[in-house]
Structure formats: C-alpha cells, structure tokens
C-alpha cells in the first residue's frame, strides 16, 4: 500500500468511525465511551471529539479501574479528560471486592476477569444503555465475530447467535428493557492503522508504549514486568531489559516486548513486520485458552 493510498485508507476508516459514533449517540438514551488511556481508547476519543466538537461529547467517559494499572496510565487518563473538559466516570474493582460481588483467589490474583462484574454494576448504577469501545476485529478470534453494534442481553452476556445483521451500514439499535449495546467504531481498523493514525493526528499516549528500561523476569514465552503485584518468584532471575508495551492492561496479565522503538515512526516500522497480534504477544490471560476472550464476553466483558 503506497503512502497516498494509506492516507485514503485512513480517511475512509475515520469517516466510518465518525458515522458509527454519531449513529450510536442518536440511537441510544444514555451512552458512555470506554476510556482507559490506552492507544485504542485515545484514538476513539480523538474521533469522538471530531464527531461532536465544538459541542461537548453527548456521553461521559467511563473506565473500569482494576487498581492494578501501570504507572502513569491513570494519570494520563485523568489529565486527558480534564484537558478536553469531559466528564470521567471511574468504576473501581476494589469497590466490587468491598461489596462482595467480586471474590479473588488471593490478594495478588489477576483482576482482569473481574472487570466484567464491575462494568455490569456501573451500567446498572448509571443506567447506561450503550457503551462505545475501542476493540478491533484483528485483536482476537472472538473479536473477529463481533458486530459493530454488539447486542448484549439483560445479564450483559454476548451471544453470537443473537446478533443483528448489519447490511449497507445500517445499524439496529433497538433494545428491550435491561438490554445493552457495546459499539465498536474501530472494528475494521488494524494495529498498523491505529499507529499510522496516531502519527498523522499527533495523538498523545502514555510513555509505556515507547521503549524504556524495565525490570522483567522470563515467564514461559513472555517477559513479565516486576511490580508490586507481580513480584519475581523463587528461582526467577530479574533482568533489566529495554522493552515497550503494545497494549496497556492489568499489570497481572499484560507483558512488554523487547523493543528499541522509541517513537511512533519506529513503532510503525516494527508493527509492519510483526507476525503476532498484540494480544497474542503480550496478554497472558488469553494464552491460557484460545476461547478465553469469548468466555469473558459471554460473562459481560466489553
């Protein structure tokens, strides 16, 4: 794909995403945009601002905070919401633990799967009927099955057999009481599209996406970061490596890759030759079982 055709490709993706954002806002009563501070949600927020400025966004930003976030990410999230003057709603897994709706096997157990419970509680508390998310079809086999308007039942569950047809860019946003939609304007984007768009639009990101030195240990196929919630275990050798994160999730299941890509141009060059999806290369929770993502989506995960 030439540079010129890549620009035209990005223009088409941008136009499609803005159309979906406006359709979602028009067809829903009380929507929210999922914003974690990660690269996909940063792109989605940028597109939303293009879709609705100079007015304020017709929905708040929503983040399900596991409490096990990497340094700088929550600060970036808060600063970004403040910079654009948009309302940020944060739902905490820690609060679900206090309520007893989430129970962990141990204090340092991964809270990633628990996000589904906290998300469903936030939907009920705030009455959200539609959530806009930055998921893409190239991330995972289960994501590839996802409609743009992903129907969820009254329990927040995703059932591939109950999804609506989406012909000629027509989206059916009708809901029965208690049902919900998760809408994915970036469905047709790839990781390379995301980074090329970030470069074109000069979108700010947390520093973890760029090469930096970090203490890590080898854990099977991964370099696992050494943190307060993921300490090295007996027999593991702590090494300092130059790494970066392709995705920024819960510390307990998100791993960096070795990389010296310190700017967006270098990341784009690296992404062009990568043979592993970002989740396959960095997410330990999906490596356990090929159906892990689909199971979580059936339980209410976004």
- Give the pLDDT confidence of 107-149 residue by residue, as tens digits: 778 888 888 899 999 999 999 999 999 999 888 777 777 888 8
In the numeric block, the tokens 């009380």 are attached to 30
Q: How confident is the model at residue 7 (pLDDT cuts 50, 70, 90)?
A: low
Q: Which comes out higher in pLDDT, residue 261 or 7? A: 261
| 187 Cβ neighbours under 8 A, 6+ residues apart | 135, 136, 137, 146, 148
Read off the tokens for 294: 């689909």
pLDDT digits 0-9 by tens, 44-54: 999 999 999 99
Average pLDDT over the chain, rounded to whole? 87
Q: What is the pTM of this model?
A: 0.89
Q: What is the pLDDT of residue 223?
A: 92
Residue 209 phi, psi (nearest 5)? -75, -15
Q: What is the pLDDT of residue 114?
A: 86
Query: Side-chain half-sphere of 66: how many Cα atoms within 13 Å?
Result: 24
Provide the 3-class DSSP secondary structure of residue 236: coil
| 246 Cβ neighbours under 8 A, 6+ residues apart | 191, 209, 256, 257, 278, 281, 282
| Spatial CA neighbour of 50 closest among 26, 87, 17 | 17
In the numeric block, the tokens 């090329």 are attached to 196
C-beta separation of 295 from 289 below 8 A: yes
In angstroms, the CA 44 to CA 54 distance is 17
Burial of 225 (0-12, 13-18, 19+ CB in 10 A): buried
pLDDT digits 0-9 by tens, 171-226: 877 777 778 889 999 999 999 999 999 999 999 999 999 999 999 999 888 899 99
Quick one: average pLDDT of 78-107?
93
| Spatial CA neighbour of 241 closest among 264, 261, 217, 220 | 217
In angstroms, the CA 79 to CA 193 distance is 25
Burial of 135 (0-12, 13-18, 19+ CB in 10 A): buried
| Spatial CA neighbour of 187 closest among 145, 127, 234, 250 | 145
Q: What is the pLDDT of residue 159?
A: 79
Q: How confident is the model at residue 249 (pLDDT cuts 50, 70, 90)?
A: confident
Q: What is the pLDDT of residue 126?
A: 95
Least confident of 105-109, 182-186, 237-241, 269-273: 105-109
In angstroms, the CA 129 to CA 116 distance is 16
Q: How confident is the model at residue 1 (pLDDT cuts 50, 70, 90)?
A: low
Distances, alpha carbon 167 to alpha carbons 15, 136, 148, 256, in Å:
17, 19, 11, 39
pLDDT value at 165 more than 90: no
pLDDT value at 280 more than 60: no
Instruction: Please tell me what DSSP assigns to residue 138.
Output: G
């Amino acid at each position: 794909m030439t540079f010129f055709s890549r620009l035209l490709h990005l223009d088409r993706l941008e136009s499609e995403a803005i159309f979906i954002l406006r359709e979602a806002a028009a067809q829903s009563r009380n929507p929210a945009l999922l914003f974690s501070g990660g690269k996909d949600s940063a792109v989605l927020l940028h597109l939303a601002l293009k879709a609705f400025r100079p007015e304020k966004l017709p929905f708040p930003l929503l983040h399900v905070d596991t409490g096990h976030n990497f340094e700088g990410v929550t600060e970036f999230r808060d600063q970004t919401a403040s910079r654009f003057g948009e309302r940020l709603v944060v739902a905490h897994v820690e609060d679900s633990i206090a309520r007893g709706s989430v129970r962990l096997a141990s204090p340092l157990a991964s809270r990633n799967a628990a996000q589904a419970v906290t998300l469903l509680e936030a939907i009920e508390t705030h009455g959200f009927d539609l959530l806009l998310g930055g998921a893409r079809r190239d991330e995972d086999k289960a994501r590839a099955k996802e409609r743009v308007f992903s129907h969820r039942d009254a329990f927040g569950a995703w059932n591939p057999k109950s999804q609506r047809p989406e012909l000629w860019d027509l989206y059916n946003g009708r809901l029965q009481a208690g049902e919900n939609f998760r809408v994915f304007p970036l469905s047709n984007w790839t990781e390379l599209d995301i980074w090329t768009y970030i470069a074109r639009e000069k979108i700010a990101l947390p520093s973890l996406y760029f090469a930096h030195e970090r203490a890590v240990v080898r854990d099977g196929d991964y370099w696992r970061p050494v943190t307060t919630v993921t300490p090295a275990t007996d027999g593991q050798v702590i090494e300092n490596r130059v790494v970066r994160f392709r995705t920024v999730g819960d510390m307990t299941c998100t791993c960096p890759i070795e990389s010296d890509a310190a700017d967006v141009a270098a990341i784009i060059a690296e992404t062009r030759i990568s043979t592993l999806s970002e989740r396959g290369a960095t997410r330990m929770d999906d490596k356990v079982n090929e159906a892990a993502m689909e199971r979580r989506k059936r339980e209410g995960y976004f």
